[in-house]
Amino acid sequence: MNELTRTTITSMEAAEWCGKEHAKLLRDIRKYTEQLGEAKIGFTDFFKESTYVTDQNKTLPCFLVTKKGCEFIAHKMTGQKGVEFTARYINRFHEMEDEPQRLLTEHPGEVAKLIQALASRMDKQGSAPYKSAEMAKIICEQYGICLPVDFVKAPGYEQLSLFGNDF
């Protein structure tokens, strides 16, 4: 999952929160982007054009809506629906901010190739095998791949050196 999808919601989700049909929210967002363009204000800070695939395997248009985009939509709404939409988007973006910052991947094979290449390089440079394991664990964590806690086992003499000369 890339950075963009971790900092946006889909227009489908926004439409549900607004109590609108998705097609009507798309119409509204297109109108907003047109008006922003006429004012020479970039709209990509608010809305990013995208697509999604339906259960029937059709590719349809949607928008990725940023936090600014949600604020924009919220300012266009009044009454109970406006209050509910605002509360939902605020909660959702706070949840996203609280999530661990990871680079999730749909291609674990590519991560494995990266680890293999780096481990080979480290081996050629004379690094201890557990250092390669530490490197592999760090990369896996960055890509959201969980390894056992005891994946890296440093030799006892290395662990003792962590305490310095206090003995």
- Taking only the tens place, the pLDDT of each residue in 106-122 is 666 777 788 888 888 88
CA 108 to chain centre: 17
Distance CA 45, CA 65 (A): 9
Q: Phi/psi at 92 (nearest 5 deg)?
A: -65, -45
Whether residue 87 sits in one domain with residue 121? no
The residue among 36 and 102 whose pLDDT is bigger is 36
Whether residue 94 sits in one domain with residue 114? no
pTM, full prediction? 0.55
Q: How many domains would you assign to the chain?
A: 2
Closest CA to 43 of 35, 54, 52, 55: 35
Whether residue 94 sits in one domain with residue 33? yes
CA 151 to chain centre: 26
State residue 161's pLDDT score: 46
Whether residue 114 sits in one domain with residue 81? no
State residue 33's pLDDT score: 94
Whether residue 7 sits in one domain with residue 65? yes
* For residues 142-166, average pLDDT: 62
| Sequence-distant (≥ 6) Cβ neighbours of residue 114 within 8 angstroms | 139
Whether residue 81 sits in one domain with residue 155? no
Q: Which domain holds residue 153?
A: 108-161
State residue 8's pLDDT score: 86
